[in-house]
Structure 1
Amino acid sequence: MAEDYYKTLEINRSATDTDIKKAYRRLALKFHPKSSKEAGSTDRLIQLGEAYEVLSDPRKKATYDKFGEEGLKGGIPPEFGSGGAWSSKYAYHGNPEKTFKQFFGGDNPFAVFYTNDAPLQFGGLQPVVVKTQDSPIERDLHLSLDDLFHGCTKKINIYRKVMNEGGYTSSIKDKVLSIDVSPGWKEGTRIVFSKEGDQGPNSIPADIVFIVRQKSHPLFERQHDDLISKLQISLEMALTGFSVNVPTLDGRLLNIPINDIVHFTYRKVVPGEGMPLFQDPSQRGDLIIHFDIQFPEKLSADRKHLIQQALK
């Protein structure tokens, strides 16, 4: 009796390649001797292996669809044959385990269904694979002090493996991730995109994590929510007073009078002119000005005398 491969795989003749793979996967797992208690499961696995091998091969399938099992196994009649592979006779190798292993991969056909040494139970239907998530993928996100002061939006293009329809093959596709930077973010802030890593048949995609790294700034250093500015002044200015102009990150120019005597540990604190607070951007840290006092390299005797008189 002629073999109906479509009936064996419980599909119709309009089935796609994906439908054929799904059908073989479901039935092969159902009737494999390691998971089935039904009598004759080995014979059924042989039938499934042969049917899948024929219908998953475009040339064999085309020959079978046009000439049936007789034409496939006996060769195409001379009046239709064109030589080569189209007219060659087909014979199944008779080893269903070989087909099973080639389909699922690996020497142990059931190894793919073991995760963390915990075997899965087979109930005649396609098993649910216990998946584990890949480790997070961490990348640095370099931001300027202006970005962290004002806030901004960064667009990052990533490339990752995405499983194709059917879940058996993958392709590389790109995706744009959008990061809304909030005013006041600090060095080390972590932005997590859940499960945006490479996709795989038996794993959960990794999270992609961006870690804020602050770029250096020509005028300011950041210390928590405060901004540190360093200015050079002369010894005369340190002793007699002066005023300084300090530009801000939001485009203003602060004129700050210094009426105290500036010594080595002196710091001028300007409240509310630092970085915005992440929890409440309407509040800000302080601006702290450090001074580097430049001493004269030489003094004449007259100048030394005048300084001595002035400091008495």
Structure 2
Amino acid sequence: MTADARRQETSQAGGLAGRIALVAGATRGAGRAMAVQLGAAGATVYVTGRTTRSAVSEVGRSTETIEETAELVTAAGGTGIAVPTDHLDPDAVADLTARIDAGHGRLDVLVNDVWGGDHLMGYPFTGKMWDFPLADGLRMLRLGVETHLVTGSHALPLLVRNPGGLLVEVTDGTEETNRTYRGHLFYELAKWAPIHLARMLGQELAEYGCTAVCVTPGFLRSEAMLDTYFGVTEENWRDGIAKDPHFAISESPLYLARGVAALAADPEVARWNGRSLSSGELAAAYGVTDADGSRPDAWAYIRDVVYGGRQASAEEYR
């Protein structure tokens, strides 16, 4: 860990002491990292998902579990509580929020990161909407949209009990960046929805002194991205650049997680109400970095280089 990274961890330590957080979809990737960083700032963090040490979700990865995430939260300095939850099951989510209510009587931070639809994308998909299996597309919408609605319906009444509550919707892209169609209609619909949820719920939550924000990572080095798509680890991730030069702009899950932890601890977080923010924008606002001390701005790189044709290296955007 660099000296800058150590200063970041120290500055965040205790900033969320006494706060109660729920990270819905915390099995792996950005969800896991956000749960751990909220814990590192002192929060009690409920972590949910479908993959446990005794059950595996349709994603098919048994190597990451919610129990492990909870243990990482506790090891980071918080209190991690794993609750197996299918967020398409309203009764299960109702039981989850009732448990939080009974234990604490409050919810201060809700991170709505449920997804689990990458395996349905048919990557790389290059056809038209009608070429895509309809059942898979509708399942993606259930996983990426319905889960967020179910979770919000049950958890937000607990969040609005106290002023200062924060809803963090997690997606892929911001309102600005997603104006470029990436060619997968079902995926685009699923990823636009959290942006609109944050904008609309921001108006509803403001009445209670609460805030809604949508956040996105850039080119995320999730566990699946590393081992399934690039055949690398976090330690040698740069070897993946040979397969895709744009992988050079990628970021670890820690990057977004640090930004979200800083967002949650910000006493003036309401200034972001209804906005969609990238990890790069959060880093600029709060001074956080990725694990290597860099501040990648993947969406600016994608706009300028990938779609805009600018001749520039990823290092210019780090």
TM-score under structure 1 normalisation? 0.21
Of structures 1 and 2, the larger Rg is shown by 1
TM-score under structure 2 normalisation? 0.21
Greater helix fraction, Structure 1 or Structure 2:
2
